[in-house]
Chain A
Amino acid sequence: MEDIPEKYEGGTVKKFMFLNRRAPHGTVYAQESLEVVLIGAAFEQDVSIVFLDDGVYQIRKGQDTSAIGTKNFSKTFRALEMYDVDKLYVEKESMEARGMTVDDLNVPVEMKTCEEIGRLMEEQDVILSF
Chain B
Amino acid sequence: MAILHTVNKSPFEKNSLETCLRIAIEGSSVLFIEDGVYGAMDGTSLNGKVSDASNRLHFYVLGPDLKARGLSEGEVMDCIEVIDYEGFVDLVVKHDATHACL
Residues of A within 8 A of B (CB): 22-27, 53-54, 57, 60-68, 70, 72, 74, 97-99, 106
Structural contact, B42 and A26, CB atoms closer than 8 A: no
Question: B17 to nearest A CB, angstroms?
Answer: 13
Q: Please tell me which one of the listed residues A54, A64, A67, A98 contacts residue B70 in the complex, with CB atoms under 8 A apart.
A: A64
Question: A8 to nearest B CB, angstroms?
Answer: 40
Among A26, A27, A66, A74, the most chain B Cβ lie within 10 Å of the Cβ of A26
Question: Total contacts A to B, CB within 8 angstroms?
Answer: 68
Binding site secondary structure of chain A: loop
What is the size, in residues, of chain B's interface with A at 8 Å between Cβ atoms? 22
Residues of B within 8 A of A (CB): 8-10, 12-13, 34-35, 38, 41-45, 63-65, 67-72
Structural contact, A54 and B12, CB atoms closer than 8 A: yes
Measured in the bound complex, the distance between the Cα atoms of B70 and A106 in whole Å is 10
Closest to A97 in B: B45
